[in-house]
């Protein structure tokens, strides 16, 4: 497996993206779960925004998201060279305020490129969920390794490290569209449907008015690299957990809908974590888990 991954990571980016596109296409046709999630999740977005989303394009993009990550991990300097950066002044202005920086990175485009770019400018502590497979977790950790990037697990120890980083005025990063664990979230609307949403981002942002920026890295065609963009959340977040979670989700939606075909719609975003009551009939009212 390691040999195959090493071989793939050293292919030209355009070739590897073609492989990823084919992999995504085949997965869509042969995996009932992936196909169902893509069709259902894009339907929610279409109903809310009135924009038709091509499910096949989304499936192909999901495959390219994987192969992009492999290429970035194996070719970090080449990846930096073909990444166009917009709105960097927003990052500099936010960081200069001296209260740290909260980086929110949804699963859109080549999201693995974002911490690599940011680490060229400042130290960042990033919360992540370790992979269940040991070999995959080893691959990810090795690929993400950087002297200015500190990846910490999504547990109490990781949260404490995030708090220490913020006290020093450093940047912290979170993937805000992952389903959190029991007791770590609230039910909040995401594309018009209740999704169990992490409360940690809003807690961080509200504690010391930490500047909060949503980042994306949109894939350019034909292996030409990525366009990295930044959008600062300027509206003060509510102190009520459900309300602040919905504010963040709405901001994420707006970024995602700029390039909806590059979002990871195949992720089961609306699942209820073990021990958490699921909403009834799409409302925010929970029901007992059977």
Give the Cα separation of 17 and 11 in Å (integer).
Answer: 10
Considering only 28-32, 184-188, 280-284, which range has the smallest mean pLDDT? Answer: 280-284
Q: What is the pTM of this model?
A: 0.92
C-alpha 38: how far from its chain's center? 16
Region 264-269: mean pLDDT is 97
CB 166 within 8 A of CB 210: yes
Torsion of CA 139, 82, 78, 214, to 10 degrees: -40
d(CA 96, CA 277): 42
pLDDT of residue 279: 78
Cβ neighbours, 10 Å, residue 165: 21
Q: Give the mean pLDDT of the chain.
A: 91
Return the sign of the alpha-carbon dihedral for residues 31, 32, 37, 38.
positive
**For residue range 4-46, what is the model confidence (pLDDT) as tens digits?**
777 787 899 999 999 999 999 999 999 999 999 999 999 999 9
DSSP percent split of the chain into helix, strand, coil, nearest 5? 50, 20, 35
Residue 198 DSSP SS3? strand
**Given the DSSP bridges, would you call strands 101-104 and 212-219 parallel, antiparallel or unpaired?**
parallel
Coil, strand or helix: which one is 247? helix
2-9 vs 13-30: helix axis angle to the nearest 10?
A: 130
User: Each residue of 199-237: pLDDT tens digit?
Assistant: 999 999 998 899 999 999 999 999 999 999 999 999 999
Q: Which of 68, 58, 73, 80 is nearest to 16 (CA)?
A: 68
**280 pLDDT exceeds 90?**
no
Q: What is the DSSP string of 121-166?
A: TS-EEEEEPPPSSHHHHHHHHHHH-BTTEEEEESSHHHHHHHHHHH
């995401």: which residue's tokens?
Answer: 190
Q: Determine how many CB atoms are found less than 10 A away from the CB of residue 142.
A: 9
How confident is the model over 78-129, as pLDDT tens digits?
A: 999 999 999 999 999 999 999 999 999 999 999 999 999 999 999 999 998 8
Tokens of 194: 């209740």
Look at the block and give the residue holding tokens 């693995």.
112
| Residue whose C-alpha is closest to residue 110's, from 134, 78, 158 | 78
**Rounded CA separation 272/184 (Å):** 12
């Amino acid at each position: 497996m390691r040999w195959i991954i090493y071989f793939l990571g050293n292919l030209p980016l355009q070739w590897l993206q073609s492989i990823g596109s084919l992999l995504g296409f085949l997965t869509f046709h042969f995996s009932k779960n992936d196909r169902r999630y893509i069709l259902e999740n894009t339907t929610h977005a279409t109903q809310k925004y009135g924009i038709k989303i091509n499910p096949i394009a989304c499936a192909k993009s999901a495959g390219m998201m994987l192969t992009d990550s492999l290429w970035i991990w194996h070719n970090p300097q080449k990846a930096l060279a073909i990444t166009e950066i917009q709105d960097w002044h927003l990052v500099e202005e936010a960081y200069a305020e001296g209260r740290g920086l909260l980086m929110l990175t949804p699963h859109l485009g080549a999201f693995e490129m974002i911490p690599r770019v940011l680490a060229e400018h400042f130290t960042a502590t990033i919360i992540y969920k370790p992979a269940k497979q040991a070999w995959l977790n080893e691959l990810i950790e090795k690929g993400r390794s950087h002297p200015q990037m500190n990846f910490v697990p999504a547990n109490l120890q990781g949260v404490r490290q995030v708090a220490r980083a913020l006290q020093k005025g450093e940047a912290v990063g979170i993937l805000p569209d992952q389903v959190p664990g029991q007791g770590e979230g609230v039910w909040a609307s995401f594309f018009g449907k209740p999704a169990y949403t992490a409360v940690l981002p809003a807690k961080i942002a509200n504690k010391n008015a930490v500047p909060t920026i949503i980042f994306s890295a949109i894939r350019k065609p034909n292996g030409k690299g990525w366009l990295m963009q930044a959008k600062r959340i300027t509206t003060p977040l509510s102190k009520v957990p459900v309300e602040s979670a919905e504010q963040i989700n709405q901001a994420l939606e707006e970024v995602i809908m700029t390039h909806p075909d590059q979002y990871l719609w195949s992720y089961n975003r609306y699942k209820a974590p073990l021990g958490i009551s699921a909403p009834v009939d799409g409302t925010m009212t929970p029901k007992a888990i059977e």
